[in-house]
Amino acid sequence: MAKVLVVTSGKGGVGKTTSTASIGAALAQNGQKVAVIDFDVGLRNLDLVLGAERRVVFDLINVVQGVAKLPQALIRDKRLENLWLLPASQTRDKDALTEEGVGRVITEMRNNFDWILCDSPAGIERGAMLSMRFADEAVIVTNPEVSSVRDSDRIIGMLDSKTVKAEKGEPVEKHILITRFDSARAARGEMLSIEDVLEILAIPLLGIIPESQDVLRASNVGSPVTLNSPASAPARAYSDASKRLLGQTIPMTVPSERKGLMSLLRGRRAA
Amino acid sequence: MSLFRFFASRPAPATAPVARERLQILLAHERSELGKQPDLLLQLREEILAVVSRHVALDPDKVIVKMERGKHVSTLEVDVELPNGFERKLAVAS
């Protein structure tokens, strides 16, 4: 039975799609059977980041409307046999996504995967609400910057009230993923620190992804960074974050920056 | 000249503490305004108002229910303003 994990943020451009692709790939590299679903109807990009843009035939809305069967729409990754993509529709009306339809697709997928990662669109409209609706867990992608932190706070409130789990009185397990972190700038007091973000949002930390050129290079060629340059700092950070999702205890570090700055934060996740 | 160089090379002041403080103030406000569970808060307010009004006549606008989220615990703050002289009415009633 799969775990349904929504990757969300409220704000756009913080790294939801990159993080979905990278965590999805890293989980698959760890032997998990993973499906990633793009909920950004009209502005799909997960296909592009995963290098599958020319293989899209059917999409999520086709499946919701019964035009195509789920196995016809799922695209298997060419490099990772455990990774599958269900793309968003690029042309159709956003209202074509219904709660009942999305629920049906996710229920069908739950039996066939270990993880279902839902890549939320930005904002708090229909697509974003439906991407979190059936989630068991949530990764809230946050940049150490005021507008991103504020929007994350708003999304946390919605995860606690608008999901099926929340309505049943069960908590959605929430994790913060800080992306585009620059430890040198944070040390100089130019950027919110990890401690600042965690204290304000009061959610456990899943990982710290450093600002890095490797992320852009990977999306340029359509390959998740954990595959494209596995030894790079962001790839190691995503890989560690994925292992934490699998329940492993990995010391919290900013990869490439192994000099004690993060020693303070060790064990923070346990709190 | 050396004085000029002293000022020119001075590092920019740290702005992260300002960001942190602004966020803390803003979010404290937004959380209480939106309420993490608006329906629950509304319901609590209605029920508290009903119970208290059975014994004391009060202005419905003077019942304030707030929820604050903390790291380990959240707090529910109930603020009921009673009109002066309500004790006398209670004594008469009993």
pLDDT in tens, B79-88: 888 887 766 6
The answer to whether the beta carbons of residues A30 and A242 sit under 8 Å apart is: yes
Res A82: pLDDT:
97
pLDDT band at B9 (very low <50, low <70, confident <90, very high): low
Q: C-alpha angle with apex A225: A221 to A227, nearest 5 degrees? A: 90
Res A255: pLDDT:
65
The answer to whether the beta carbons of residues A251 and A229 sit under 8 Å apart is: no
Res B87: pLDDT:
66
What average pLDDT does the structure give for chain A? 92
pLDDT band at A13 (very low <50, low <70, confident <90, very high): very high
Name the DSSP letter for residue A66: T
The answer to whether the beta carbons of residues B55 and B24 sit under 8 Å apart is: no
Contacts of A157 (CB under 8 A, 6+ apart): B31, B34, B36
Of B75, B92, B85, B86, give the one whose Cα is nearest residue B52.
B86
Instruction: Name which of B23, B24, B32, B71 to mutate to probe chain A: the one with the most chain A Cβ atoms within 10 A of its Cβ.
Output: B23
Structure token digits, residue A210:
């450093």
The answer to whether the beta carbons of residues A46 and A88 sit under 8 Å apart is: yes
Q: Closest partner residue to B15 among A160, A190, A202, by Cβ?
A: A190
DSSP character string of B36-69? SSHHHHHHHHHHHHHHHHTTS---GGGEEEEEEE
pLDDT digits (tens, 9 = 90+) for A159-175: 999 999 999 999 999 99
pLDDT digits (tens, 9 = 90+) for A47-76: 999 999 999 999 999 999 999 999 999 999
* β-pair type (A83-86, A34-38): parallel
Question: Is the whole model's pTM more than 0.80, yes or no?
Answer: no
Structure token digits, residue A222:
């359509």
d(CA A147, CA A95) in angstroms, rounded, equals 28
What is the distance, to the nearest Å, from the Cα of residue B16 to the centroid of all Cα atoms in its chain?
25
DSSP character string of A116-127? EEEEPPSSSSHH
Res A260: pLDDT:
45
Classified as helix, coil or strand, A204 is: coil
Residues paired with A37 in a beta bridge: A86, A118
Residue A263 pLDDT > 50: no
Res B35: pLDDT:
54
d(CA A6, CA A134) in angstroms, rounded, equals 9
Q: Closest partner residue to B70 among A145, A192, A202, by Cβ?
A: A202
Asked if the Cβ–Cβ distance from A192 to B16 is below 8 Å, we say yes
Structure token digits, residue A160:
């606690």
Residue B62 pLDDT > 90: no
Q: Which residues of B touch A202 (CB under 8 A)?
A: 69-71
The answer to whether the beta carbons of residues A22 and A216 sit under 8 Å apart is: no
Q: Which residues of A touch B71 (CB under 8 A)?
A: 199, 202
Res B80: pLDDT:
85
User: Quick one: what percent of chain A has pLDDT higher than 90?
Assistant: 89
Of A155, A202, A163, give the one whose Cα is nearest residue B74.
A202
Report ipTM for this prediction: 0.78
B66 in contact with A, Cβ within 8 Å: no
Name the DSSP letter for residue B6: H
Residue A259 pLDDT > 60: no
